[in-house]
Amino acid sequence: MLTEVDAMTRTVAPLQAFGAADIAQVGGKAANLGELLRAGLPVPPGFVVTTGAYAHVARRAGLDDLLGAADGEADGDADPAALRAAIDHAGIDADARAAIVAAYERLGADTPVAVRSSATAEDLPGAAFAGQQDTYLNVVGATAVVDAVRRCWASLWTDRAVAYRAAHAIDQAQVRIAVVVQAMVDAEVAGVMFTADPVSGARDQIVIDAAAGLGEAVVSGRVTPDHYVLDARGRTRSFTPGRDEVVIRPAAGGGVAEHSGDRRSAPLLGGDRLAELAAHAGTIAAHFGRPQDIEWAITDDSNRALAELAAQVRADPALRACVLGRTPAEVWDDVRTDDRYRGFRTDLTSYLTEFGRRETTSPLLISAPTLAESPDVVIGMVQAAAERPLAPAASAPSAAALEQLLAHPWLRGARRQHRIRAWVRAAQDGVAFREDTHFYFTAALPTLRRSILEIGRRLHAVGLLDAAEDVLHLRLEEIATIADPATVLPQQAALLRQLVAQRAAKRAQLAGIPLIDAARVFPASGGADDALVTGTPAGAGIATGPARIIRDAADFDRLQPGDVLVCPATNPAWTPLFQRAVAVVVDSGAAVSHAAIVAREYGLPAVMGTGTGTAVLTDGELITVDGARGRVTRAA
């Protein structure tokens, strides 16, 4: 992260480098976003083109002369069209262009972004400046981003913006503009949230407007949104359904497209999502110390996005020929270099940017690459998904199971049913807390891994290591003894190389030996002699299919529709595989493990804690999984 001095002297810097004290440098919108990032809230990554960059262009464009502001104050008679033309004519100088391009490329090649104006008089108490400067959505490619920044600068001088500032007695000559460039969220649902009722001012209410697609439909007034009024704990006080007049979504290749909405009767947001939004509302209002209006977006997940990538492959014969029937590494080599696949490359890059921080092996290890570092793993998932459309998850199996439970004769009384519902809600909250803990714990993984590999890169550059990844064989205290890699003594360098060689050899020797004997931790539970393996029942139902042994992310592409997923363990990166499988058999875990939770969500038979499933079952062998009894047998 930049220091405060660094941020002040650069024309382009990350959003998190700024906060409330930096409005003069980055405007109100960027300053507030930086505050939210610093507070740990889920804000898309991005960067700011500071007011310093704009001021340089304004000087070259002669704006002070056009404004008649030689004495430091504008006379208010300047022609906005002439001001915009001057900005356009001045353009962006080579240094600023290079800085913008470099910052954009750090977000990921061809990452779709939103480019938004952030004026120094914007998002302030008493002057929101809503919609007065321009916003450009789904901007793709470095050239398009640079052009969008220039157009944002010019939008400071639209007729409406000039008139708005005049109405608020804001000196036109003193206004500056920064530009926020953020990774684009392809929202399933989005809208605006008020931490206090915007009409009555009541601070014990949270008001949420929501519509399908991008939030632009709500902000621009193009749609009548769902309207929710909540109490401070996120419980619904009232709900008014929207009319779905239009849905705005990102268009292929950049920009947005409008679609007709689908009429519906159910609310877009369920109780869990409303409660999550309400919790964020409380955090944000407390952080700023006053009521806030907040734009928010909810993207679905690593399954909808994956399905869309697979749909592209199925729909394009040339892309299909490139992706299917080849190794993932071969596909990635072509996709990243051949402009015939530019659209797919852009969407794949967006997927890696959005979900790439997920681990491929374990959240406890930084030695394994993340999904963002393993595009071939994602391509393997896309290959599997492209063979046949992914099946949707079973609809509300937990709700049906609860109703079945409450129908039991012992639970017919109202008090007993109330108690059971409370217990179930508490268990659901516990599982959600477990998953959220995992999600936020792994958020630091990519940053930590990149930092360590950067140390390795620097040691490799001066010949201390044969490869940057060799740093993973060293301990922190051993690295800390190196003050300057370029001046390491020969004997110290020899010792480091010796340690790396010894530990690499030892790890290779132990690579095939499991750290935990799963058969001891999860002993066989007995049962009929015909059971190949047994374990904990974790997802009811019976299914038959060929066993597919998937040991790690490199095997993802081997799972075909109708296979039984047999694996040592799973983490969130494995979730898309559950849409291909007919059942799940796992060496470790129990009924509340990740694999069990996801299997039940998709209505799959699941057996957990078999201990020896991956060792006993043969790849390709036709097996039957009885999830209710926790047994796996040979298919008849």
Helices (H) and strands (E) in the chain, counts: 23, 20
**How many angstroms separate the CA atoms of 104 and 365, rounded?**
29
**How many angstroms separate the CA atoms of 55 and 30, rounded?**
17
Residue 221 pLDDT > 60, yes or no? Answer: yes
**Bridge partners for 298 per DSSP:** 189
The DSSP code sequence of 608-629 is: E--SSHHHHSPTT-EEEEETTT
N-to-C CA span, the chain: 61
* Region of poorest pLDDT, from 113-117, 143-147, 422-426: 422-426
| pLDDT for the residue numbered 296 | 92
Segment 289-309 shows an average pLDDT of 82
Residue 298 pLDDT > 70, yes or no? Answer: yes
Query: Which residue type does 160 have?
Result: R
Segment 624-630 shows an average pLDDT of 93
Across the beta sheet with 226-231, the strand order is 236-240, 226-231, 205-212, 189-194, 293-298
| pLDDT for the residue numbered 81 | 86
Residue predicted with more confidence, 619 or 123: 619
pLDDT digit string, tens, across residues 547-561: 999 988 778 878 888
Residue whose pair of structure tokens reads 């399954």 in the numeric block: 303
The DSSP code sequence of 402-416 is: HHHHHTSGGG-SHHH
The closest of 541, 529, 539 to 589, measured between CA atoms, is 539
| pLDDT for the residue numbered 471 | 94
Segment 220-245 shows an average pLDDT of 87
**pTM for this predicted structure:** 0.63
pLDDT digit string, tens, across residues 438-478: 777 777 777 888 899 999 999 999 888 999 999 999 998 99
The DSSP code sequence of 103-139 is: HHHHH-TT--EEEEEEETTSSBTTB--TTTS-EEEEE
Task: Domain 4-183: give its CATH architecture.
Answer: 2-Layer Sandwich (3.30)
How confident is the prediction for the chain on average, in pLDDT?
83
* Region of poorest pLDDT, from 70-79, 565-574, 599-608, 623-632: 70-79
Question: Tell me, which fold does domain 518-634 have in CATH?
Answer: Glucose Oxidase; domain 1 (3.50.30)
Segment 40-61 shows an average pLDDT of 89
Segment 561-589 shows an average pLDDT of 86
| pLDDT for the residue numbered 9 | 45
Percentage, residues of the chain above pLDDT 90: 27
Q: Please report, for residues 136, 268, 285, the alpha-carbon distance to residue 193 in angstroms, rounded to integers and kept in the order given.
A: 21, 14, 11
pLDDT digit string, tens, across residues 334-363: 998 898 898 888 888 878 877 777 777 766
Name the residue ranges covered by the structural domains of the chain. 4-183, 189-298, 304-386, 394-513, 518-634
**Bridge partners for 259 per DSSP:** 247
**Are 212 and 242 a contacting pair, CB within 8 Å?**
no
pLDDT digit string, tens, across residues 385-404: 787 655 544 444 566 777 78
Longest dimension (CA), the chain: 96
| pLDDT for the residue numbered 395 | 45
- Which of helix, strand or coil describes residue 246? strand
CATH of domain 189-298: 3.30.470.20
| pLDDT for the residue numbered 6 | 42
| pLDDT for the residue numbered 207 | 93
User: Could you tell me the two tokens for 470?
Assistant: 């060799």
Question: Directed axis angle between helix 142-154 and helix 80-90, to 10°?
Answer: 150
155-187 burial string, b = 16+ CB within 10 Å, else e?
bbbbeebbebbeeeebebbebbbbbbbbbbbbb
